[in-house]
Structure 1
Amino acid sequence: MAHYHRRELIKQLVAGGFAMGALPSLAATLPFSPKNETKLKNNIKHSVCRWTYGFMPLEQLCTTIKEIGFSAIDLVGPGDWATLKKHGIHSSMCNGAEISLTEGWNDPQYHGRLVDNYLKHIDLVADAGYQNLICFSGNRKGMDDATGLKYSSDGLKKIMSKAEKRGVTIIMELLNSKVDHKDYMCDHTAWGVELAKSIGSPNFKLLYDIYHMQIDEGDVIRTIQQSHPYIGHYHTGGVPGRHEIDESQELFYPAIIKSIVATGFKGYLAQEFIPVATDKVASLRKAISICDV
Structure 2
Amino acid sequence: MPRFAANLSLMYQEHAFLDRFAAAAADGFDAVEYLFPYDFEPAELAARLQAHGLTQALFNLPPGDFAKGERGIAIRPGREAEFAAGVAQALRYAQATGCRRLHAMAGLVQPGDDLVLLRRTYVNNLRTAAQAVAAHGITLLIEPINTRDIPGYFLNFQQQAHDIVAEAGASNLKVQMDFYHCQIMEGDLLTRLRRHHAGVGHVQIAGVPERHEPDERNEVNHAALFAELDATGYDGFVGCEYRPRAGTSAGLGWLKAWKASKTGKAGAA
TM class by shorter chain equals: 0.7 to 0.9
* 1:114 positional shift: 0.7
Match of 1:210? 179
Q: How many residues align?
A: 249
* 1:136 positional shift: 0.8
Q: Distance in 1 between matches of 2:7 and 2:96?
A: 22
Q: 2:116 matched to 1:140?
A: no
Q: Distance in 1 between matches of 2:223 and 2:24?
A: 20
Q: 2:125 matched to 1:167?
A: no
* 1:237 positional shift: 0.9
Match of 1:12? none
Mapping of residues 246-257 of structure 1, within 5 Å: 246-257=215-226
1:289 to 1:206, Cα distance in 2 relative to 1, 3 A? farther
Q: 2:58 matched to 1:93?
A: yes
Q: Give the CA RMSD over aligned residues.
A: 2.1
Q: Which runs of 5+ in 2 are unaligned?
A: 263-269
- Tell me the alpha carbon deviations over residues 208-251 of structure 1, each in whole angstroms, 9 at most, x when there is no partner: 11111100111111111111122111111111111121111111
Match of 2:14? 55
Q: 2:39 matched to 1:82?
A: no
Match of 1:238? 207
Match of 1:44? 2
- CA contact under 8 A between 1:47 and 1:271: conserved in structure 2? yes
Q: Which runs of 5+ in 1 are unaligned?
A: 1-42
1:123 to 1:66, Cα distance in 2 relative to 1, 3 A? closer
* 1:144 positional shift: 5.8
- Tell me the alpha carbon deviations over residues 227-286 of structure 1, each in whole angstroms, 9 at most, x when there is no partner: 112211111111111112111111110001111221111111011111113x43121353
Q: Which moved more, 1:55-64 or 1:90-99?
A: 55-64
- CA contact under 8 A between 1:138 and 1:185: conserved in structure 2? yes
* 1:68 positional shift: 2.9
Mapping of residues 147-162 of structure 1, within 5 Å: 147-162=117-132
Q: Which moved more, 1:114-123 or 1:207-216?
A: 114-123
Q: 2:195 matched to 1:226?
A: yes
- CA contact under 8 A between 2:77 and 2:117: conserved in structure 1? no
* Higher relative contact order (CA closer than 8 Å, sequence separation 6+): 2
Percentage identity across paired residues of the two chains = 21
Match of 2:28? 69
TM-score (norm 1): 0.78
- CA contact under 8 A between 1:237 and 1:271: conserved in structure 2? yes
TM-score (norm 2): 0.84
Structure 2 residue corresponding to 1:130, chosen from 96, 99, 102: 99
1:167 to 1:288, Cα distance in 2 relative to 1, 3 A? farther
- Higher-Rg structure is 1
